[in-house]
A and B are shown apart, each in its own frame.
Chain A
């Protein structure tokens, strides 16, 4: 089998058998940046102590979790981060780290290199002025760029990503070239199919940063050309009525800094604390998780016959945060699908295919 086919097999097998193959483990909600679009709601719940994190990692291993992503907040802010990460590697997890990298100096870069992570994913919001306008911390751009260079020198696989907003969209392609040519690392792309998420408590403050229609059209046209220049073509998906609505809660899970288990970072469950509860029991039997798993495309009563469905990146988690239900029509997804269809069904001379 080809590598891509093996990945597909692993994911499909995990989704069918409800194995949490991927875990996004948020180690802390503390952060030294203050990004405008951040979806995290800081709460006063106590962070797990190191030994309890170890215990959850052991349970994740037993449950078949393989791809482990340490995220935050800013995970490197935890003083015991490397003890936790070393332990995770001893348990043979394939490790990814999401960080703003501003705390990375030579010594921390060495330690990150020694961890042998699959990748370290770092966000840039644009060039210096734009980045610092969005992170609201002076010199954060310089620190992050310096860190990227330090990590590259140590042969760490660095992927740079960007959350696209109405402020920074004009810089995206120039930033991509800068990342690849000047920094010499990979471009991970833009996050989340343009769906800047509400805060995880439903606060809609970050939504004001979503792209305007005109910005979206321009960006998707440019993206289409970018794909073509490397011989790729976007193809709309084939959606069947019995398709599962979302893989969250099947092959992927999320752990919060206080030890709560969720299907993803957009869906925070109730009564999901692992403190004293076995992870596999919560994973297998939590009623809300089983409800989410049961959802199919045909359950979207307002959308199931929509002609835009194959262009739509519907997210039940964001639908609940924005509209109150996992099955609510999500106007932002409709807007994106409509524009995507419009652009991708155009041929080069502007005529419809």
Chain B
């Protein structure tokens, strides 16, 4: 992760919902025939998604995960970097700088 002080923010146009242990995200701004795209996040990814509230910095997300799970900081950083990159690539999040 290049900058842990960046603040990830979810795209305002998305619809999403926690359903039981998962989070379902719906994108609907694509080409006419593929407007509705569903993405289902597993338990860990769902927890990270809910921490992306436009206020938490990346490092806050990492700290909160470290306080919840018995995992190394290195593993959490790797996991979050991978996931945030995926979210950004899919247009689910953007970053602002604190």
Contact = CB atoms under 8 A, between A and B. Distances in A.
Interface of A: 3, 6-7, 9-10, 13-14, 17, 19, 21, 61, 64-66, 89, 92-95, 116, 118, 157
B3 interface: no
A150 B37 CA distance: 25
- Tell me the interface secondary structure of chain B in the complex: strand
B26 interface: yes
Interface stretch (B13-21, B55-63, B74-82, B89-97): B13-21
B83 interface: no
Given A3-B36, A3-B38, A6-B38, A157 B17 contact: no
B24 A66 contact: yes
Given A3-B36, A66-B15, A93-B15, A116 B28 contact: yes
24 contacts: A3-B37, A3-B38, A7-B38, A9-B40, A10-B24, A10-B38, A10-B40, A17-B20, A19-B19, A21-B19, A61-B17, A64-B18, A66-B15, A66-B19, A66-B24, A66-B26, A92-B14, A92-B17, A93-B17, A94-B26, A118-B36, A157-B28, A157-B32, A157-B35
Contacts of A17: 20
A116 B30 CA distance: 12
Contact of A64 (B14, B15, B20): B20
Contacts of A14: 19
A92 B16 contact: yes
B43 interface: no
Contacts of A61: 17
**Considering the complex of A and B, which 9 residue pairs feature the smallest CB-CB distances, nearest first?**
A94-B15, A66-B17, A64-B19, A6-B38, A116-B13, A94-B26, A92-B16, A118-B28, A92-B15
B40 A94 contact: no
A77 to B, nearest CB: 25
Interface residues of B, number: 18
B28 A94 contact: yes
Given A64-B20, A93-B15, 9 more contacts: A3-B37, A19-B19, A61-B17, A64-B18, A65-B17, A66-B19, A93-B17, A94-B28, A157-B28
Contacts of A64: 17-20
Nearest to B34: A3
Contacts of B36: 3, 118
